Each structure stands twice: as structure tokens, then as C-alpha cells.
Structure 1
Amino acid sequence: MDNRPLVIFAALFVTTQAVSIASPPFSSCDTKAYPPDPKDAVPVYTVNLDLPPKERWVELVSAKKVEIAGLIDDVKNLTLTLLGEKLFNFIINNLDKVAASLPHPYDEEVVGIASAADMLVAEITLYNIFYEAFTFCTSIIMQDPDGNLYHGRNLDFGLFMGWDPKKHVWRVAELLKPLVVQLKWQKGGKTVYESINYAGYVGILTAVKQGKFTFSFDERFKANGGFVGILEWILFNDHNQKWVSFLTREVMENAESYDEAKSLLSKTRLLAPVYFILGGAKPKEGSIITRWRDEFRTVDLWSKESDSGSWYLVETNYDQWTSPPFFDDRRTPAVHCLNAGGQKNASLELIYNVLSTRPILNKLTTYTSLMDVNHGMEAWLRSCGDPCWPW
């Protein structure tokens, strides 16, 4: 596996002393974080899919326009620093072209969001493609002794994106938190599925289709990652590849079973490598689909390659058949805490407590979501007081 991007980031981190904070080693599992504080619950909005695409996001984006503008200004400045002026300007100067080439209805939705936010289409496009390359996550699927499945995830975002040495936080992660919302996607007045989104982001990162399947995706770091796909989209008009979060939205809207969702997530050509974490409605329906851009490999809940070979799966941002790097090992404490909890205690409570254990919970964590395929989902904003791991 190619860990060069993370190694470079880690070296930069240490060399520049960008983060002046003590990061304690893993010591114990959090067993008392659940239930979450109700004041941290994210607000709920509706996306009416019966409306024209340009009108679907007006209510939500109008309510969050100030926060969206503040985030995008920061993202532009930090992206310039990360990519360098030449590559940054090339991408920025082609964002209108990217927006026009997005598949329907996303092209029109982006235009509608830009209008509601009083921003440029290019800026909203940057906001919507940024997640193809910069997310860190932890996802867990577990099964209790009665065969009930539970799914949870932390979404971490903003590594090396504006460290505040006084407040000990990542600036982009903090700017994202006010934008976290729970969406009910409706047709004909009925909810088709639910998701946890950042306001104005039209793709799907975390979702549940009640009675059918639950879903999350985690970034997979490879040399031919998201930026390569974006450049191919721009330079070679290679539009036969799918934007990851657009594919996942199509799966949520159209797939009617765990098996159908698994097939679509496994076989569709992608713009970026990724891990799809999929849970079903029946016992043993749990899988991590490790995607190259054109190929896939699946680790199922009961396969020999799974972390436990039995009742749970854990995915961070590294292949199941390799060891995570020493500077970002969230898998080992997650596995330890799940084993300590035991299958007899498998529940949303156990998942939340594990996801609240440091460094699984860290300075990048924007939200924790819990999903029960039969009852829906909830999410809460997260913070990690010092001493806390920066990632």
C-alpha cells in the first residue's frame, strides 16, 4: 500500500511543529460516553426530490449560507497551500467546466446551491469535490447474538488544514461542524432514505435505507487517488468514471436490497479509490468493499479476513490485510474495545462508546452517527478536549 501522502504529511507535521499538543497513547476504552448529550444532536432537514434540482437545497442553504461562505474561503486558502499555486490555479480555473460536466441532477443542484448561497458556481463545485480526497473516518458494523445489525461511524475531516495553536483545533473541522445536518430524502411525501451531510454537499457519505441497508464510506489513500481522477475528468474528458459520493447517492435512491447495493458499489468504475462499508437487514449481511478505481476486494462479516472473523468489522483508512501505520492506528484500539465489550453487549451503545475512545475520537472528528437498519439513524457533533490526539 502506498502511504507516501500520509508519511509526507506526518513529516511536515513534526518538522514544522504545527501542532503543539500532547497526544497520549491509547490507555483505556470509554464505557460511559453513551448516551450522547441531546444538545449535540444535529438538526434535521428535508430534501424534496420532487422539486426541480435547482430548488431542492434553497431552504437549507439559505439557513447556512454564512457558514458555507466561511468554510469555502478557508478551504480555498488551505488548498492553495497543500497543492501549490500551479496545480491549485489549474483546478480552480477549470471548476466551471467541471460543474457543467457533472451528471444530472447534480449539475443543476450545484447551480441552485450557488444561487441560494450568493456564491460562484465554481466555489460550490470546489466544496462538492473536495471530499473525494480529504476525509479520514472510522466505521464499525456489528451483530448481536440475536442477529440484529448495527452500524456506526466517525467522520474526521481537515488534517493539516489550518491548525489553531491557541484553541488546539483544526480550523476546517471546526468550520464544518455547524454545517452537519441530518437529511430526509423524500419522494411523494415519503422518506426514501436518510443521510448525514454537510449543508450544500449533494453527495452521500453516511446513510440508511430503512429496512434494507446502511452505508458509510471511508477514504482510501493511494497514489492514484481522487486528484488523479479529477485531473483525468478535466484534461481528458474522462466522464465514464463515477464521482464516489454521486454513485453512493444513486445507490441510496435506487438499490432495493443489500445485495443490489453491494453489486453496484463493487463493480462501478470510480474517480477515486475508497472503502465502502455496507450493512444489511439480515444476519451476516456486513461487508467492507475495498475499491481501487477499477477493481474491488470485499471483506465480509464472516470472512477469514475480517478483524474478528465473527461479529464485527472495523474500517479506518487502511486495507484489512495490512497493518495500519504507526502514526495513525485507530483500528487496534477499536478492535481491543470491541473485544472487551463482547458480542453479548453488541449495541448502538457499544459502538458509540468505542467511537468515543481516543484516538478513534480525535481533533478531526466532526460527527458520530449511529444507524439501525430497522429504525433509522441519528448523529451528534463531537469535540475532543485536551489531551487528545490531533488525528
Structure 2
Amino acid sequence: MKTHVVNLDLPPNERWSFLNAYTKEINELIQCYLNDFTGAEFIFEGITAYKEQFISESYVQEIQSIAAICDFSENEILVANLYYDVLKLYFGCTAFATWNGNEMLHARNLDWHTDQNILSTYSMIFDYQRNGKTVFKSVGWPGFVGVLSGVKPQKFAVTLNAVLSSDTPEIALPISFLLRDILENCESFLEAKTRLENTPIICDYLLLLSGTKSNEKVVIERMPKRTSTRASEEDFIVVTNDYKELQNENTGNSNSILQATSCGRFDTATELLQKHEVVEELDCLEVLQNENVIMGITVQQMVFNVHTGKIKLVCT
């Protein structure tokens, strides 16, 4: 899959100029996201005030440059970038980090309901660079300026999993923008961990964070008002879509396949990692592709080598 360079040395309104070749894809993706906001149109009522308070001028200019090449407004593109924070019920995901004796491998299935398979078809790898050198890489889509899955070579990798709690949502920076900020600016596993544990958030999430040492692998469980970090004494750690540390009165929508299968996917991935030697990217993909781990809504399967920054991406 082609990797596109996002040049951070350019002014924000020029960084995504290569997307001029992907207007069709952007239009289809943004429309897909916005279709799912039916019944949640209220978000548009306060989006301008929210943008002025929480979205940096740099991100605003990036979004404006994308609006200039597609059929949607600046606010519509911003709302599409808020997809997780508003509609996390559509997300699943199984992820794990494993130490192979020399390197940390960080793997995940991105499970996201979508029509016509466009999230899989239009997936891209973005290489964010300064002075011609990689700062971090992410897996995403054209028109999406935030990050849900990313790796900072020789530093850390982070991926987002959905979860539900009974905590009241807060007003804060979108999680996809927070992850991009951390990948762009944090210089160590510990710095990233501290920020992910303490930065105010909008809603619930689970974050798998891995570094370059055998003990640098944690799942950060977040609710708007509560935080707990889960470590592992084994060579691996697994996360799906339920809290293991935080007490949670809301067990989720019983009709949601994401919630209903979370424990089964967690147990299967754990058992596979215990029984089988996982030393390279293909071994990780075998776990992700197990029939009891992969889902019908899985759109991306990826493995990050935290040491080298290499990404193995399979779009299903």
C-alpha cells in the first residue's frame, strides 16, 4: 500500500495538498461518516463554538484546506473527524502488544461498521515528516487529520479501542486529535503514558500503548472522570472492548456485537499468544485473522514494529 508523506515543515494549509488526487474518495468517506450522524444533528449546533475553544489553528487550517478540494464544509469535515467521540458504538477492535525477545510488535484489528467497504478500500498510511525524517506514521483515510492508530519509530505505538461506561461525557479535545498531538510531540513511552492518563477527554476509551522495552506495554482505561492503567507480567498484553480495571455499571448495549464478542475475542487472543511463539509480523496477523478474533466488520489489520516504525497493513 502506498505511503503518503505529510510534510510538517509546510504551512498547515499545504500539508495535505497531495489529496487533490483523492477528491472522490474524500467525498465518499465524509458522506459515509455524516450519514451515521442521523439523529445526532445537534452536534452541528455548537460545532463553531467548540472549534474555537478546543481545535488548534493548525488543525483548523488543515481542515480548511481539505474542505477546499471536496464538496463539504469545514464544519462538516470537523464533525466527521469527531466520529469516535460521538458514535463510538460503531467501533470494535482487538489489539495486543507482544515482546519477541528483541523487539516490540503492536498489532490491531480495526473493527468499524461501514457500507460498501469504503473504509477498507480507501485506507492509507501517512508518514508525518520534519526535515525529511519520519516523526511518526499513522493508518487512516483521506480527509481524516486525526489518528486512531500510530507509531513513533524507536519511541512508542498507540491504538484506540472503543468501550462504554456510565460516566457523563465532558467537553474536551477529540481523541483522534489528542493521539496525533502525542505522536507528534512526545519523545518517550513514559511521556506519552503520562499525557494519555491525565489529559481531559470527551468520553470513554481504551488505549494500548507500547514502547521499545519488554515492560513497556500497558492498556490505559479511561472514563471522563476516572483512569486506570493495566500492565502485564507476561510478554504480551491484550485489549478488546471492555474494562478490566475500572468498575463499570454500564456493560454496554446487549444487542451490540462489539460488546457481546469482546470477552470471547480477548480470551482467544490471550490463549493464542500464550500457546504460540509470536516473533514476526506474520505471526501477529495469524492471531488477528483467527476466526474467533476477526469480525465481519474488520476493515484494517495492522502490525507496527515499534523499533523500526515498519507497518504491515492488510485491508479486509
TM class by shorter-chain length? 0.7 to 0.9
The residue number in structure 2 matching 1:222 is: 165
2:17 paired with 1:58: yes
2:36 is paired with a residue of what secondary structure?
helix
**CA distance in structure 1 between the aligned counterparts of 2:83 and 2:279, rounded to whole angstroms:** 35
Question: Where in structure 1 do 4 or more consecutive aligned residues deviate above 6 Å?
Answer: none
Structure 1 residues 90 and 376, CA, compared in 2 at 3 Å: closer, same or farther? same
Structure 1 residues 58 and 116, CA, compared in 2 at 3 Å: closer, same or farther? farther
**CA distance in structure 2 between the aligned counterparts of 1:345 and 1:222, rounded to whole angstroms:** 33
- Find the partner of 1:358 among 269, 284, 291: 291
Aligned letter for 2:165? Answer: K
Contact 1:367-1:379 at 8 Å conserved across structures: no
Q: TM-score, normalised by structure 1?
A: 0.72
Shift of the alpha carbon at 1:257? Answer: 0.9
Structure 1 residues 210 and 366, CA, compared in 2 at 3 Å: closer, same or farther? same
- Find the partner of 1:129 among 72, 78, 82: 82
The residue number in structure 1 matching 2:178 is: 247
Aligned letter for 1:206? Answer: S
Report % sequence identity.
Answer: 27
Shift of the alpha carbon at 1:100? Answer: 4.2
Segments of 5+ residues of structure 2 without an aligned counterpart are 252-257
2:178 paired with 1:178: no
The residue number in structure 1 matching 2:244 is: 320
Segments of 5+ residues of structure 1 without an aligned counterpart are 1-41, 159-169, 234-240, 303-309, 384-391
Shift of the alpha carbon at 1:218? Answer: 1.0
2:57 paired with 1:104: yes
**CA distance in structure 2 between the aligned counterparts of 1:224 and 1:69, rounded to whole angstroms:** 34
Contact 2:81-2:176 at 8 Å conserved across structures: no
**CA distance in structure 1 between the aligned counterparts of 2:94 and 2:10, rounded to whole angstroms:** 34
Q: Which moved more, 1:97-106 or 1:247-256?
A: 97-106
**CA distance in structure 2 between the aligned counterparts of 1:178 and 1:326, rounded to whole angstroms:** 27
- Find the partner of 2:271 among 336, 343, 353: 336
**CA distance in structure 2 between the aligned counterparts of 1:269 and 1:318, rounded to whole angstroms:** 20
Larger Rg belongs to: 1
The residue number in structure 1 matching 2:254 is: none
Shift of the alpha carbon at 1:295? Answer: 2.7
Structure 1 residues 326 and 317, CA, compared in 2 at 3 Å: closer, same or farther? closer
Shift of the alpha carbon at 1:72? Answer: 2.5
Structure number with greater CO (CA < 8 Å, separation at least 6) is: 1
**CA distance in structure 2 between the aligned counterparts of 1:359 and 1:96, rounded to whole angstroms:** 43
Aligned letter for 2:15? Answer: R
The residue number in structure 2 matching 1:197 is: 140
**CA distance in structure 2 between the aligned counterparts of 1:74 and 1:297, rounded to whole angstroms:** 34
Shift of the alpha carbon at 1:79? Answer: 2.2
Q: C-alpha root-mean-square deviation of aligned residues, in Å?
A: 2.2
2:112 paired with 1:152: no
Deviations 1:143-186 (A, max 9, x none): 12x2432111111112xxxxxxxxxxx416x1212321111101
1:105 is paired with a residue of what secondary structure?
helix
Q: TM-score, normalised by structure 2?
A: 0.88
Shift of the alpha carbon at 1:93? Answer: 3.6
Deviations 1:310-367 (A, max 9, x none): 11111011112489954443112111222221xx444322211000112321221111
Deviations 1:209-247 (A, max 9, x none): 11111111111212347xx44xxx4xxxxxxx3321211
- Find the partner of 2:209 among 250, 271, 278: 278
2:4 paired with 1:45: yes
2:136 is paired with a residue of what secondary structure?
strand
Number of positions where the alignment pairs a residue of Structure 1 with one of Structure 2: 301
Q: Which moved more, 1:371-380 or 1:276-285?
A: 371-380
Aligned letter for 1:44? Answer: T
